[in-house]
Structure 1
Amino acid sequence: MELVIRNGGLITGDGKTFHKRATVYVREGRIAGVDSEEPAAGADIAALETIDAAGGIVMPGVINAHTHGCIRGPSMPCGSAPFEAEEVAYFRNRHLLQGTTTLLNVCGLAMPDEVDVAETEPHAMDIRVSTAHTPNNIQAALVVDGKGLSTRHLSATIDKMLDAGAVALGEAGGGQTLGGGAQEYRFIPHAIQREFGVEVTPATARSLKNAVLGRFLDPADGLSNPRLQDELERCGFSGVTDASHVRDIVTRSVMPSVSLSLAGFDEIAREAERVGYPAIFHNAAPSAKRLIAAVEKHPHACLVAGHSNHPSFLPDEAISIAQDLKSKGAVIDVSTLDCIGTRWRNDPTNLDALIDTGCVDTISTDFAGGHWDGVLEAIQRMVGKKQLSAAAAVALATGNVARVFPQMAGDRGLIEKGKRADLIVVDNVNLSRVRHVVIAGRIVVRNGRLL
């Protein structure tokens, strides 16, 4: 046997099964067997490597199907210039140390051959890409930024990308093209900095955006100029500029891509139904109605409502929209964002509300400007608050994800004979503390340290 993990508890990833003590056997990168009985004296099986999981729990590696920043191609749905190699390495290693073994980068406009960072070995994680190469999604990116897009990115198609190794469609829409988080922490602050030389926080940018355009990105929902001026004073802009000037800056930053991005929803849904691959959508207050319509129009497509706990929703909205989408056949995904421990821009209110309703299918991190909290931190929160059993919570990041994304993860996500041996060992008191990580049978993190 190549690897034996013994003496730990075991969560299999099916949403139900938990063994207080078990042994997992690994051969040739696959799970060779699982023994949940107390081994008889002298029954140890010889192994090249052994992990003693005493005080820990063995579970499948996290399958994170909504991330950004982990490849060297165009970044984000706006097709921005690639992240620097050092940033990509940092993001990847953070995910790995947080227990992720399979990762889907959903910027959407990068190529499969841009996964590997030049002049380095492939990362231990299995990193894959999605495709959003449809006319309106490409045009939405160009309107906002597009500086990372070359001729080959612009000429790519869904079929060519799937043939080259993409494993999903999307992300349709994004925080850049639909007035979401990236507008708040990047584009609006940069525009204000250029115009006035004044730095604004993401929270201030969000306040100004909502004051000008409302939560649904409809200028008719924005505040009147006198009330907007009051908001400017509240945000510390008194004497810097007037309401009309701020309204113009915010509108020019946010609105040009919105109609294009929403039209891209229809393209991605149609393509997902045609090709039979899952598709990820930006689910937020400005896009929820369009997503619901797409789900209704394409009932045979696997459409994933990404980050359904988006902060643009009020809690009751998040629940009612998620329940409506789920009743129509959509997959309900929630994202940690930065809402568990970091609390940079977001809090866990919407996440808690959706978990409490029982309508969540999968969990991911998204990006949160690079400040995301780990999936296991959210799982520990669910278990600690007694919202879900440990087995049910872990399934949101393992077995459930594997079922939704079979082209990417159909051979993993469960600890059972024949599955790929992607395994993690975590602390049995705090599931977010990762001790060991095994990918395809190889130990890549031992005692919390990268090997």
Structure 2
Amino acid sequence: MSTLIQGGTVVPGTGDTVIANGVVVLRHGRVADVLTRWDPVQEFAGETIDAAGCVVMPGLINCHAHGVSPGPLFPSAAARLAEQAWMGNLDRHLLAGTTTVLNLCGFAGMDEVREADRRHAVHVRGATSHLPAALQAAQFADGRGLTARTRALTVERMIDDGAVAIGELGGGQTLGGGGQDLVYIPAAIEKLTGVRVEIGQARRLKEAVLGRFIDASAFDAEALDTAAYEAGLSGRLTMDELRTVIEDSVLPSFVPAITGIREGVLAASRLGVPAIVHSASATARILRDLMAETRGNGVQVIAAHVNHPSHSPAEALELAVLGRGNGWPAEASVFDLLHRRHTVTTRDHWDLLLGEPGLVSVLATDYGRDGEHDELIAAVQDVAAQGHRPLAGAVAMATSAVADLIPGIAPQSGRLQAGRAADVVVAGAEDFRDVRYVFVDGICVVREGKLTAEAHR
């Protein structure tokens, strides 16, 4: 099958080139050529796509995705998603121009990752967090998705079986972060009172009890009383009961999750694969310690979502700058801060860190509420539109930079260059979310904004 895509703004993903009215030729599942023009009298034996008014870029590579395989969900090993849900998450990625995802639900086995990869056009890659302390943290926080088989897996076996990274090390579910605010604290309160608190209310209750850094000595009785009133809990629980509910939900998994981060970084150093760590206010201390301990030993540690809103913007900047000085690349997650704004309602951290030249290496999504994160392609456009990077550089942050940072995630993708995999996106130039066409290995899997039959296998 051959395809000629012409007339659009071609952004090859190399970080330094944009070709106005460029041409991309696909043949036999590969990029055959990238040209500055196509002779109109030259015939083409295949489909021709008019990309006028569009950008043409490599398929995006998302290095921080959850809920994209049939395995346990999140670092808490929550109950496995139904097939319709994880396949639906992959559909949303594909319809938004993402052709490769790294599953950071690290308790999934590689057989489960391969099942998702086999059944969907999106390339699904696996990471592992099969570490003793991380497993203990998951069991304290949730663990419903674990089986005897997944409990028996190790990072060594997972890497041997094809996992390309260790991670996600830590998470909001096990470290008192957004996962607790969104799921576990509301569930615990509802079980006792029948009242389901919102994510912001849960966060205020948690911070009144444990502060932003998850420390029982930070308890603020007055703040808890105010937060309880705002959440409609006054008179339903005593303040001591409410404090106990919060502590019992958050604290059991916290220490083993911190230990699991250390175990994972040391394993990455030993095994020669990247580690992806949860960067948030609760992990700032352990990350600083590990930066000092691993300095100069060659371990590749990627700080996930350095723009996490549990930091103040100044704290986020300080930690990311320290990470850069210690050789830790930074990933900024779009969460849902651009459009949906269910879980993250500020873009202050995003703009501050991306505005610092060379501080953020790659872009990703994380999960959002029920998988409803903003699109990675929207993040690419925002970075360019805000002037944080030129268009060529913004595209590279979700394509070639990711492929280079994590060997094995997409070794043949990430750049529109002759001989590479024909993973290509054609999107409206005015709004990149208007994805018209997506090709995976040269096969059209999105046409005129809709999935084709080839999207599911």
TM-score (norm 2): 0.95
Q: CA deviation at 1:321?
A: 0.7
In structure 2, do the counterparts of structure 1 residues 116 and 88 end up closer, same or farther at CA, with 3 Å as the change threshold? farther
Q: CA deviation at 1:116?
A: 5.6
In the TM superposition, what are the counterparts of 1:4-403 in structure 2 within 5 Å? 4-36=4-36, 38-47=37-46, 49-115=47-113, 122-223=119-220, 225-299=221-295, 300-346=298-344, 347-358=346-357, 359-369=359-369, 370-403=371-404
In structure 2, do the counterparts of structure 1 residues 41 and 91 end up closer, same or farther at CA, with 3 Å as the change threshold? closer
Indicate the RMSD between aligned Cα atoms, in angstroms: 1.5
Q: CA deviation at 1:376?
A: 1.4
**Structure 2 letter corresponding to 1:94:** R
Identity of aligned residues (%): 38
CA distance in structure 2 between the partners assigned to 1:41 and 1:12 by the alignment:
22
CA distance in structure 1 between the partners assigned to 2:204 and 2:66 by the alignment:
25
**Structure 1 letter corresponding to 2:174:** T
Superimposed CA distance per residue, residues 289-346 of structure 1 (whole angstroms, 9 cap, x where no aligned partner) = 2122223322411111001111101111111111111110001001111111001121
Q: CA deviation at 1:233?
A: 2.0
Give 5+ residue unaligned stretches, structure 2.
453-457
In structure 2, do the counterparts of structure 1 residues 382 and 179 end up closer, same or farther at CA, with 3 Å as the change threshold? same
Superimposed CA distance per residue, residues 230-265 of structure 1 (whole angstroms, 9 cap, x where no aligned partner) = 332233322222221111000100011111011111
Partner of 1:3: 3
CA distance in structure 2 between the partners assigned to 1:293 and 1:407 by the alignment:
28
Partner of 2:455: none
CA distance in structure 2 between the partners assigned to 1:197 and 1:41 by the alignment:
68
For residue 187 of structure 2, give the secondary structure of its aligned residue in structure 1.
helix
CA distance in structure 2 between the partners assigned to 1:407 and 1:116 by the alignment:
14
Give yes or no for contact 2:201–2:227 (8 Å, CA) kept in 1. Answer: no
In structure 2, do the counterparts of structure 1 residues 136 and 429 end up closer, same or farther at CA, with 3 Å as the change threshold? same
CA distance in structure 2 between the partners assigned to 1:345 and 1:148 by the alignment:
24
Q: Which runs of 4+ in 1 moved over 4 A?
A: none
Give 5+ residue unaligned stretches, structure 1.
none
**Structure 1 letter corresponding to 2:327:** G
**Structure 2 letter corresponding to 1:231:** A
CA distance in structure 2 between the partners assigned to 1:297 and 1:32 by the alignment:
46
TM-score (norm 1): 0.96
In structure 2, do the counterparts of structure 1 residues 121 and 230 end up closer, same or farther at CA, with 3 Å as the change threshold? closer
Give yes or no for contact 1:295–1:303 (8 Å, CA) kept in 2. Answer: no
For residue 409 of structure 2, give the secondary structure of its aligned residue in structure 1.
helix
**Structure 2 letter corresponding to 1:64:** N
**Structure 1 letter corresponding to 2:72:** P
CA distance in structure 1 between the partners assigned to 2:309 and 2:291 by the alignment:
22
Q: CA deviation at 1:147?
A: 1.4
Q: CA deviation at 1:187?
A: 0.2
**Structure 2 letter corresponding to 1:293:** D
CA distance in structure 2 between the partners assigned to 1:340 and 1:376 by the alignment:
11
For residue 282 of structure 2, give the secondary structure of its aligned residue in structure 1.
coil
Q: CA deviation at 1:102?
A: 0.3
Give yes or no for contact 1:116–1:123 (8 Å, CA) kept in 2. Answer: no
In the TM superposition, what are the counterparts of 1:367-446 in structure 2 within 5 Å? 367-369=367-369, 370-446=371-447
Q: CA deviation at 1:408?
A: 1.2
Q: CA deviation at 1:117?
A: 5.7
